[in-house]
Amino acid sequence: MKKVDIAVIGAGPAGLQAAISLAEKGYTPVVFEEDPIIGQPIQCGEGISVNGLKDFSIPTSNSSICVRKLESCRLFFASKREVLGDITAYTLNRDAFDQYLAERATDFGATILTSSKVANVIRKKDSLLIKAEGKENLEYECKLLILAEGYKAKIAYSLNFPKPTPLIKAFEYKIKGEWNEKLEFYFDSQKYPSGYCWIFPKEDESNIGIVTYAKERKKRLDKFLKEKKISAKIIGKIGGSIPMHGPVKKLYDKNVMLVGDVAGMVNPIFYGGIRIAMTSGKTAGEIAANYLKDDGKTSLLEYEKKLSEYSFMDKVNLECHNFFYSRSNKFLQKLGKLLEGRFINRIKGWEKIEVLSHLLKYPILYKRMIKLYKMYRGFKIVRDWGF
C-alpha cells in the first residue's frame, strides 16, 4: 500500500484541472482513470466558450485542440424564426483537449494511472483507503480525496453523497461535412422535451445531436436530419447521460470534495459543463492545497463558499430551466416571434423598451414577465458558462 497526501478519482476536465492546481502548488496528486486512453471514449458535444479557454490559458492557436471559432449562435423555437445568441465559442477535439490537460498535469508533477478503476474507497479515522483494479490491483491511502468520477457517482454514493439526479440523455452523430457556419439549437417541446437538437460545425465535419428525456433519441435525431436534408456520411456516434438540475446540495464532507459531473457541475439550461467542471476542479485543488499546508485546519466549507461566488451556482439557472422547458410550443413560437433577429441574452438600451412594447401584444408572454426576466438572466449566464 502506498501513502499519498491527495488522490483524484477521474481524469476528465474537472479532475485534471484539480490535479493541475495542486501540482502548481507543489503537491503530487495521484489521479485514477478507469479508461486506458485519456479523453476516450468521447461523451461531449465538443464546444466551449472562449471565456473557458481564457480562464485556463488553453492556447486557441493549437488547432489539434481548438478546431473552429464561432461568433454568435442561432436558436429556433418550434418554428423557422431565427433568434440570436451572443456567444463566442470554439468547437473542440475533446479527446485532444483532455490529453492536453493530462500532459500539463504530469508536467507539473501529478501521476496519472490509466486503466485503473477504483472499486472501493474505505474511510479510516483520518484518511481514506483507495482500492483500484486494472493492470494490477492497487491500494493507496490518502489524507484528502477529490472525486471527479462522473455522473454515475458510485464512489460518491458509497461515501454518503447524493447522486446528481435527475439525468438527461444525449445522442450525437459525427457527420462528414460542415453543415452550418454557426452553432444552431432547435427547441421543440413535443419533439425534444426538456432538451433540443444541435448542430456544431467543425472542420470538414459536424457534430449533430439531441438531448432529451424522451425515449427513441436516435429515431428523433434521424428525423431531425431528414427534416434538415442532411444525408452525409456518419463517421461516429456518441451517447451519454448528463446531470440535469445543476450543482448537488452536498459538495464536500470531512476530507472529500466533489467536482465536475458527480457534483452536478453542469448548466441546467443547455446542459454544458466543461468550463464549470474545470472551475470546480481548480477551486477544489486550491482549497485542497491550503488544507494540506496547514494539516487540515482549512475547512472544506471554503470550497463551497468560493464556488458560491460564481453565477453558475445561482438558483436562477434552475428557475430558468424549470420555466423554459415547461413551456408549450405555442409559447415558444410567440417567444421566437418576439425575439426574431434579436439576441436572447443581450438586450440593451432602447431595445429593452422596444421589446417590452412588442411583448404587450402577446398575452401568453406578458402574463409571465417575471419568469421571462429570470429566463433572460439564465440565458445570459449560459453565454459564459455552458451551452
- Domain residue extents for the chain: 2-43+95-164+245-313, 167-243, 317-385
The pTM of this model reads 0.95
Confidence band, pLDDT 50/70/90 cuts, at residue 297: confident
Amino acid at 135: K
Confidence band, pLDDT 50/70/90 cuts, at residue 134: confident
- Would the pLDDT of 295 be above 90? no
In this predicted model, what pLDDT tens digit does every residue of 55-66 receive, in sequence order? Answer: 999 999 998 999
- Would the pLDDT of 138 be above 90? no
Tell me, what DSSP letter sits at residue 161? P
- Would the pLDDT of 44 be above 90? no
- Would the pLDDT of 136 be above 80? no
pLDDT at 146: 98
**What value does the CA radius of gyration of the chain take, rounded to a whole number of Å?**
21
Residues 6+ apart with CB under 8 A from 253: 159, 160, 161, 300
pLDDT at 179: 82
> Does the domain at residues 2-43+95-164+245-313 carry the CATH identifier 3.40.309.10?
no
In this predicted model, what pLDDT tens digit does every residue of 298-341 receive, in sequence order? Answer: 899 999 999 999 999 999 999 999 999 999 999 999 999 999 99
In this predicted model, what pLDDT tens digit does every residue of 1-23 receive, in sequence order? Answer: 899 999 999 999 999 999 999 99
Residue 34 half-sphere exposure toward CB, CA atoms < 13 A: 14
- DSSP letters of 65-83? TEEEEEEEEEEEESSS-EE
In degrees, rounded to 5, the angle at the alpha carbon of residue 89 between the alpha carbons of residues 321 and 309 is 55
In this predicted model, what pLDDT tens digit does every residue of 203-213 receive, in sequence order? Answer: 899 999 999 99
- Cis check for the bond before 201: say yes or no (omega within 30 of 0): no
As a whole number of angstroms, the distance between CA 33 and CA 260 comes to 14
DSSP 3-state of 18: helix
CATH fourth-level superfamily of 167-243: D-Amino Acid Oxidase, subunit A, domain 2 (3.30.9.10)
As a whole number of angstroms, the distance between CA 187 and CA 258 comes to 32
Asked if the domains at 2-43+95-164+245-313 and 167-243 fall in one CATH topology, the answer is no
- Would the pLDDT of 43 be above 90? no
